Structure 1
C-alpha cells in the first residue's frame, strides 16, 4: 500500500485572508506558503513559480518574493542559480534536533502544568482529546494534527507560558513536515491519544514526575516513525544526517 500524505491545500486569496489574519500582505502570504509546505501540499523538491503563486493568491509578485526569502531563511525553500526556487527536502537531522528541543521545553511545561493547571484548563485539554478521537474516526489526519498543536499549546497556556509555544514555531518546522507524512504503522493515532490522556491524567492528579515522563515518551515517537518514513519516501528527505 503506498504511503498516504496528509495535505491541507489553502487556496485562499489575499482578500479572504485579510479578514482572518493580521499583519502585512507579505506575512500573510508567507503563512499560506509555509502551511502548504508543512502539510506537503507543496512537496519536497517541487519547483515554485512566483508568478503562479501570485496569481493563486491574488497578490503581486513582491509579497510572494518577500515570503520566499523568509521561507529560505527558515530552511523550507532553496533558491538555486538558474533553476529558480524549490521546496527543500525534509532535513531528518533538523527534525531530530527539533524533537530534542521540544522535549526539553515541553517536559518542563508538563511538570509546571501539573502544579498550576486549573479545572478549566484541564477541561479544555479533555475536550481537545475528544475532538482528536473524532478526527481519528473520521480519518481526518490533518485535523488530528491541528488539534495536537492546540493541545500542546493548551499545556503551555496552563502554565501562563503560552509564548513558549510561539517561540517553538520556527524551531519545529522540519518536525512538523514529518508529522504530516502519514503511514498506517508509522505512529498509530490510538497510541498518541492514549499518551495525551495519560499526560492530562497526570496533570489533573498533580503528579509532576508522571506528567514529565509521559510527555518525554510521547515526544520520542518521532524517533521510531522517522526511519520508517525515510525508508518509504526517500525522495522526500535530505540524505545528509
Structure 2
C-alpha cells in the first residue's frame, strides 16, 4: 500500500523546483481528500518522497498553513486543518451573488457558439458519469461554470470567482463521492443550460441559485455525519 506522499511523488510533473512540487502535491492531497482533516503530516515521509530537506518541507507546510489548509502546533506537529463551515458559508455567499448575475447575462447575451460549447460540456459530463469518471466529471463541472464568464469576456469577474472556487474545492470534492451527487449536479446543469438557451434570465438565476444552495444543504448534512472533519 502506497502512502499519499509516495503517490504524489509518482504523479508529479517536471515543472518547478522539488520544493514547489512537494508544496503543490501536498496541497492537492489535502484538497482532493486524500489527506483527511486531522491527518498528521509526516515530514520525514514527504522529504523522502520528494528528495528534499526537512527545511524545504517545513517551508511548504508553512505556506499551506498560511492558506488555512494546515495547522501547525508546537506540541502536536503539523496536521490537515478541518474545514471551517463559516468560511464556506461566506465563500458560497459571494459565489452565489456573482454567478447568479453572470448566468442572467448569459441568458441575455451569450452567443450561439458559446451555447454550443456549454451543450458539448454537458455531453461530456454525461459520458463521465456513465463511465464512473468522478475526476473527469469534477473538471467538467468546473469548466461548465468557467465557460460562462469566458464566453462573455468577463475576465475581471473570473479573477474573483476562480479563487472562490479554489477555496471551495475541498468541499466540492468531499461531497462528490456522496451517492447520486454527480447525477443531481448534471440535472441542475441541464436546467441552467435550458434557461440560458431559452433566453430566460430570471429562470436562469433561479436555477443557478438552486444549484449552489444545494451545496450548502448537502454540506450541513455531511457535517452532521462527519463532525470530526469540520469546525464552526
Q: TM over 0.5: same fold? A: yes
Q: Distance in 2 between matches of 1:55 and 1:135?
A: 35
For the residue of structure 1 that corresponds to 2:13, the secondary structure is: helix
Match of 1:207 among 189, 200, 206: 200
The partner residue of 2:13 within 13, 17, 20 is 17
What is the rounded CA distance, in whole Å, between the counterparts of 2:87 and 2:218 in structure 1?
A: 15
- Which structure has more relative contact order (CA 8 Å, sep 6+)? It is 1
Task: Tell me if 1:127 matches 2:86.
Answer: no
Q: Does 1:184 align with 2:179?
A: yes
1:159-174 alignment runs, 5 A limit: 159-173=152-166
Q: Report the CA distance between 1:220 and its aligned residue.
A: 0.5
CA displacement at 1:199 relative to structure 2: 1.5
More helix by share: 2
Determine helix, strand or coil for the equivalent of 1:52: helix
Matched residues, number: 226
Structure 1's unaligned 5+ residue stretches are 1-6
The question of whether the paired residues in 2 share the 8 Å contact of 1:90 and 1:174 is answered with: no
Shift of 1:61: 4.0
TM-aligned CA distance change 1:30 to 1:230, over 3 Å: same
What CA distance in whole angstroms lies between the structure 1 residues aligned with 2:100 and 2:155?
Answer: 14
The normalised TM-score by structure 1 is 0.82
| Closer/same/farther in 2, CA of residues 203 and 119 from structure 1, 3 Å limit | same
When normalised by structure 2's length, the TM-score is 0.84
- The correspondence for 2:141, drawn from 142, 148, 159, is 148
| Mapped pair 1:92 → 2:89 | no
The root-mean-square deviation of aligned C-alpha atoms, in Å, is 2.6
Q: Which secondary structure state, in structure 2, belongs to the residue aligned with residue 230 of structure 1?
A: helix
CA shift for structure 1 position 172: 4.0
CA distance in 2, matches of 1:173, 1:47: 23
